[in-house]
Copies of this chain bind each other. A is one copy, B any other.
Amino acid sequence: MISKNQIKQVTALHQKKYRDEEQLFIAEGVKTVEEILNQKPDIIAHLYASDAFIAKTNDRIQNTSVEYTIVTEAELKRISMQVNPNQALAVCHYFDTASTSSVLPDKNYLYLDNIRDPGNMGTIIRLADWFGFNTVFCSPESVDFYNNKVIQASMGAFLRTQVVYEPLAQTISKHKFKTVYGAVLNGTSIYKATLGPGLIVIGNEANGISNENLKLITTPVSIPAHGQNGTESLNAAIATGILCGEFFRQTQA
């Protein structure tokens, strides 16, 4: 049985202001919460879950001393950010994703320039994890990593990806990136260019890469379109997927 106080505390975390104040965020759903229990149980401050979920994950919960409250479907709905909440909601501590010791000059990394849609950011973190690009840099104005939709869309990849918010110039100088690729509409086709290690800058959904950051791009690249009169642009996460695939093919496959 959930208390009024708990409901108030959890729903406050729907807003970034209170997340930052409490240094807590929400992760939801059977698959996501199971991944947290398996990979980073220490970050769980409190787990709200159905009795079926608790029974199913009982071993992990006992081993890791996770504090939990069993909730009904109706109670879960009151604290969830989802239309159809699914059995489990974990209130988690912010954790250190920002240790960049493993950023290597012979690999590829993504820099997200003002990505605003949380679904896009989560999807990009998921695909970066797939291709082994284990650090994602973001401009300071990009959407909050701890936004519930980022966490959901990353499908657990948020646990394995270092996410660093800093200006592009700082990322480049700190890690001595020599090649800075930028996804633009009139660059060299990625299928003609010889792609190598370096930073890959992805622009904002509506406006692309900012003018300030465009100056720091050494190698503008594009995904070629089939013809005229078609779609003017691709979804930012789709474009990132196609770029990452081609970088992966040319450098690692």
What residue in chain B is nearest A122 (Cβ atoms)?
B235
What residue in chain B is nearest A153 (Cβ atoms)?
B235
Contacts A132-B227, A226-B132, A241-B241 hold; do A127 and B253 have CB atoms under 8 A apart?
no
**17 new A-B pairs (CB below 8 Å) besides A130-B230, A132-B227, A241-B242?**
A123-B235, A123-B238, A126-B234, A126-B235, A127-B238, A131-B226, A132-B226, A155-B231, A155-B232, A156-B231, A157-B230, A191-B248, A191-B253, A192-B253, A226-B248, A239-B241, A245-B246
Copies in the complex: 2
Range of interface residues on chain A?
35 or more
Q: Are A245 and B226 in contact (CB under 8 A)?
A: no
Residues of B within 8 A of A155 (CB): 231-233, 235
Q: Are A231 and B126 in contact (CB under 8 A)?
A: yes
> In this assembly, does A52 line the interface, its C-beta being within 8 Å of a C-beta of chain B?
no
**Distance in Å from the Cβ of A133 to the closest Cβ of chain B?**
8
> In this assembly, does A3 line the interface, its C-beta being within 8 Å of a C-beta of chain B?
no
Residues of B within 8 A of A189 (CB): 253
> In this assembly, does A17 line the interface, its C-beta being within 8 Å of a C-beta of chain B?
no
> In this assembly, does A2 line the interface, its C-beta being within 8 Å of a C-beta of chain B?
no
**Distance in Å from the Cβ of A2 to the closest Cβ of chain B?**
27
> In this assembly, does A160 line the interface, its C-beta being within 8 Å of a C-beta of chain B?
yes
**Distance in Å from the Cβ of A172 to the closest Cβ of chain B?**
24
Q: Are B246 and A249 in contact (CB under 8 A)?
A: yes
